Amino acid sequence: MFPAVFTTVLFSVSVLFASRSAQYLGGMPANVARLLIAMGFLGAWAHSMGGGFGGPGLSWFLLSGVIGFGMGDMALFGALPRIGPRLAILLTQCLGAPIAGLAEYLFLGVHPTGVEILCGVVILSGVALALAPDQQSDAEPRAFRIGVCFGIVSALGQGLGAVLSRKGYAVAAASGYTMDGGTAAYQRIVAGVLVTLLFWALLRATGRAPEPLKPFPVWKKAMPLVVGNALSGPTLGVACFQWALQTTASGKVLPIVATSPLVTMALAWMFQGTKPRRQAIFGGVLAVIGAAGLAWFKATHRG
């Protein structure tokens, strides 16, 4: 059970690192920097101990990276400065679960059950409650709305990326190929880095980049946060997640990892002083209960 708990803490800490680094550097530069660092760590594993760019599921993992690391992470870094880390991770993690279920139904023919639909309703109700108090806060309403939209897109990336990864694992297994988690993460992040760099270059070429590049002293100050984000999220966080799934039944692992929005909420309160309102806490708990229940049901009823 320890790897699952460690995964949850690492994922939650990575969001705080991401939020702080985005404040220093801007969302897009901070995201590009942490993806490049994480790609270096994962590449060292994949090309020494893993499968590199091999495997019959390569195209699916690359597509998963385009959607998850590319679209999803760019949206997450767009949400962080506008709605804060606790709401950004709540939208991403909790809405990602029902989105993945809908994607499975549309693309893989996996029909949702009554329990899954109920869990989805609970998640959406909790997210609505968690968001409602912030609409009455001092935050600029337009920025808040844009941040929520970014959070929903981040959840789309999370959910669709997970389904595409499942397809990649299934294709590999059908061919008798054993795909390790580190190699899969590397193949995904390479595609995500390429998409992110191309999009950023396009924005800068057209003069639409939301943030100018910061001077060297700012980068020097922010780099510990960027490295911390790269290590705690796509590197060690993903590695611990795979470790947890290797040693513990997924029906026990996934509900624990689904509580990461609550851990993020507590950490943001402890280290950033962003105390959530009672209604936001209740909504977050409700959404996490729905996400944990959905994860447990899917894991125990579908192997």
Over residues 60-85, the pLDDT tens digits come to 999 999 998 899 989 998 898 888 88
* Cα–Cα distance measured from residue 74 to residue 164, given in angstroms and rounded to the nearest whole number: 18
In a domain, 172, yes or no: yes
Instruction: Output the CA torsion 290→293→295→301 (10° steps).
Output: -140
Convert the pLDDT of each residue in 122-166 to its tens digit: 888 888 887 775 544 556 788 888 999 999 999 999 888 888 887
In a domain, 191, yes or no: yes
Tokens standing for residue 253? 């692992």
In a domain, 279, yes or no: no
Domain that holds residue 76: 2-112+140-273
Convert the pLDDT of each residue in 183-204 to its tens digit: 888 999 999 999 999 988 888 8
Distances (CA, A) of 224 to 76, 127, 219: 20, 32, 9
In a domain, 292, yes or no: no
In a domain, 283, yes or no: no
Domain count along the chain = 1
* Cα–Cα distance measured from residue 67 to residue 9, given in angstroms and rounded to the nearest whole number: 24
DSSP code, position 135 = G
In a domain, 261, yes or no: yes
pTM over 0.85: no
DSSP code, position 211 = S
In a domain, 280, yes or no: no
In a domain, 287, yes or no: no
The pLDDT of residue 56 is above 90: yes
Q: Which region, left, alpha or beta, applies to residue 6 given φ > 0 means left and ψ of -120 to 50 means alpha?
A: alpha
